């Protein structure tokens, strides 16, 4: 049995590089994407509702408007070591897109969705959400990964 397992492993090892090389030559170089992950720890209390409110009203719409962002996800803890975990994931075409200005699409969004006027209860609510978001985002950590899209299941 061990001989068959080793034999199949060697065969698979030899077959995969050839298949990958053949595909590279036909399709060009593998596609990649750049994935950024901003992680913060937000307690499961009223602060979390404030942070999620800010993400829903400000962060997500701007990510959707930004043509440099291919995909955007808000991940919250489901299972694991720390229920406070919250991760904002953005996928970009390349490293340059991370620093590229959003430009007109974001300006149009801001023009069409201005902050409420100062002194109004709506403005106070937005500022509370922002301050709570910054309380946790101020201690966030960032990671940047290369995603091999040619190996993705989508």
**pLDDT tens string 94-106:** 999 999 999 999 9
What is the spatial distance between Cα 91 and Cα 145, in angstroms, rounded to a whole number? Answer: 9
Between 8-17, 101-110, 115-124, the lowest mean confidence (pLDDT) is in 8-17
Q: How confident is the model at residue 15 (pLDDT cuts 50, 70, 90)?
A: very low
User: Is 150 buried (19+), middle (13-18) or exposed (0-12) by CB count in 10 A?
Assistant: middle
What is the spatial distance between Cα 150 and Cα 154, in angstroms, rounded to a whole number? Answer: 10
What is the spatial distance between Cα 41 and Cα 16, in angstroms, rounded to a whole number? Answer: 41
Reported as a single tens digit per residue, the pLDDT across 51-60 is 999 999 999 9
What is the spatial distance between Cα 115 and Cα 100, in angstroms, rounded to a whole number? Answer: 24
Whether residue 154 is predicted with pLDDT greater than 80 in this model: the reply is no
State pTM to two decimals: 0.74
């Amino acid at each position: 049995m061990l001989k068959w397992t080793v034999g199949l492993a060697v065969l698979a090892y030899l077959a995969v590089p050839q298949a990958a090389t053949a595909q590279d030559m036909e399709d060009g170089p593998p596609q990649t994407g750049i994935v950024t992950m901003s992680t913060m720890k937000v307690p499961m209390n009223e602060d979390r509702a404030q942070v999620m409110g800010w993400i829903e009203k400000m962060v997500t719409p701007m990510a959707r408007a930004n043509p440099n962002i291919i995909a955007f996800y808000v991940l919250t803890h489901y299972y694991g070591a720390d229920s406070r975990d919250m991760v904002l994931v953005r996928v970009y075409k390349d490293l340059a897109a991370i620093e590229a200005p959003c430009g007109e699409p974001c300006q149009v969004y801001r023009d069409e969705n201005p902050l409420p006027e100062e002194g109004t209860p709506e403005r106070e609510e937005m500022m509370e959400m922002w301050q709570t978001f910054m309380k946790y985002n101020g201690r966030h950590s960032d990671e940047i990964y290369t995603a091999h899209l040619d190996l993705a299941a989508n």
